[in-house]
Amino acid sequence: MKPAYIRPLFHPFSTMINPDILDGLEKRFKDITVEMSDPSVATDPKKMAVLGREHTSLKTIVDRIQEYRSQAAEIQDLRGMLRTESDPDLVEMAEMELEELESGFPKKEEDLRLMLIPKDPEDTKDCIIEIRAGTGGDEAALFAGDLYRLYNKVAEIKGWKVDLMNTSLGTKGGFKEIVFSVSGADAFGTMKYESGVHRVQRVPETESSGRIHTSAATVAVLPEAEDVDVEVHQNDLKIDVYRSSGPGGQSVNTTDSAVRITHLPTGLVVTCQDEKSQLKNKDKAMRVLRSRLYDLELAKIEAERSEARKSQVSTGERSAKIRTYNWPQGRVTDHRLEGDEKNHALEKVMNGDLDEIVRALRTSENADRLANL
């Protein structure tokens, strides 16, 4: 609930934000700044990467805290002045300035509270997206292709880079499976809400009777792991090379450029064949493997968090369906939302505009965290 700044001017100043939280964040920012200047830390790439990400994130918040506190102090000074000042002209000027500051203060306070909501450190990472055709045969593969084009349009709007990693084509178009990376600001923090089962209702191109079919595709969004996030031992890997099949250029079926990597301790298998170079395929396969291993570790941590926290992010437990794309009605329904936020125009969404959906899901995810500030 926002504070009510009502007249008279001498109404006691109060704040919803616990000052201990602000003090703690400012102290942590100073401590990190000092720690990063330590020569022993500067020579440790892993530690510097972790501290650097936290330092960058905290700087924006600390700058906003200082603006907030400066305005709060200015309001207090003006109120003190009005209690002691007798010059009518100065009183009038102070009242006008105070009214302006007070009217904008609740918004500044609310914006700061939103910034104080604890964020998942993975949100700032790039991501790897895996789309697989589900129930529905050829139509499911075509829908998987539609989702890939949708995410490409999202990336184009956001200025992100998309890098294709592995594909398995459908018999009549689309993809049985497609894996690609997305690099850019807040890529995982935005795309993580796409994890889950996507359902489509429409008349397939292969349907002659005009009957509406229901098909599905699954989407998995993984934060892309960096070398400092997960350590993979070469002794734990079995690497096979074989000849590529499908699109890929002149080297297809002529050289052993495709790569299959098996992680022996977990049994995870990753393949990549889209590059002509065996080395490039191996590099991309390792990126996917690291991200899958990292996701396994995150899942263990996620299992230990509160049920309310887990329900906001797709973890597989709510995998029935997260979204339905209804072609005949021109509507996209996100089943995690309620009321007016639930339904969206199909054409708008398929053209890459996910902002309203993401904003609503973030608001829902942040509700409990916000209540604790």
DSSP 205: T
Query: Distance (Å, rounded) from C-alpha 59 to C-alpha 117?
Result: 15
pLDDT for the residue 245: 67
pLDDT for the residue 226: 74
**Does residue 294 form part of some domain?**
no
Q: Is 144 exposed, middle or buried (0-12, 13-18, 19+ CB in 10 A)?
A: buried
Residue numbers of the domain that contains 84: 19-116
- Domain check: are 128 and 217 in the same one? yes
Of 116, 141, 166, at which residue does a domain stop?
116
pLDDT for the residue 116: 80
- Domain check: are 218 and 350 in the same one? yes
- Domain check: are 27 and 68 in the same one? yes
- Alpha-carbon torsion 195, 199, 200, 204, what sign? positive
Of 116, 143, 159, at which residue does a domain stop?
116
Of residues 174 and 255, more confidently modeled: 174
pLDDT for the residue 56: 85
- Domain check: are 132 and 63 in the same one? no
* CATH code where residue 360 lies: 3.30.70.1660
182-207 average pLDDT score: 90
Tell how strand 323-326 and strand 196-202 pair up: parallel
- Domain check: are 167 and 35 in the same one? no
- Domain check: are 348 and 210 in the same one? yes
27-35 average pLDDT score: 93
**Does residue 206 form part of some domain?**
yes
pLDDT for the residue 298: 79
The verdict on pTM exceeding 0.75 is: no
**Does residue 164 form part of some domain?**
yes
Query: Distance (Å, rounded) from C-alpha 282 to C-alpha 331?
Result: 41
Overall domain count for the chain: 2
**Does residue 267 form part of some domain?**
no
**Does residue 85 form part of some domain?**
yes
- From 189, 221, 193, select the one nearest 291 (Cα to Cα): 221
Is the confidence at residue 11, as pLDDT, over 50?
no
162-169 average pLDDT score: 92
Q: Is 311 exposed, middle or buried (0-12, 13-18, 19+ CB in 10 A)?
A: middle
**Does residue 261 form part of some domain?**
no
**Does residue 257 form part of some domain?**
no
- Alpha-carbon torsion 103, 104, 109, 111, what sign? positive
- From 82, 22, 92, select the one nearest 58 (Cα to Cα): 22
165 residue type, one letter: M
Helix or strand run (H / E) with residue 221:
strand 213-223
Of 89, 116, 143, at which residue does a domain stop?
116
pLDDT for the residue 164: 93
- Domain check: are 88 and 134 in the same one? no
Query: Distance (Å, rounded) from C-alpha 148 to C-alpha 174?
Result: 9
Is the confidence at residue 348, as pLDDT, over 80?
yes
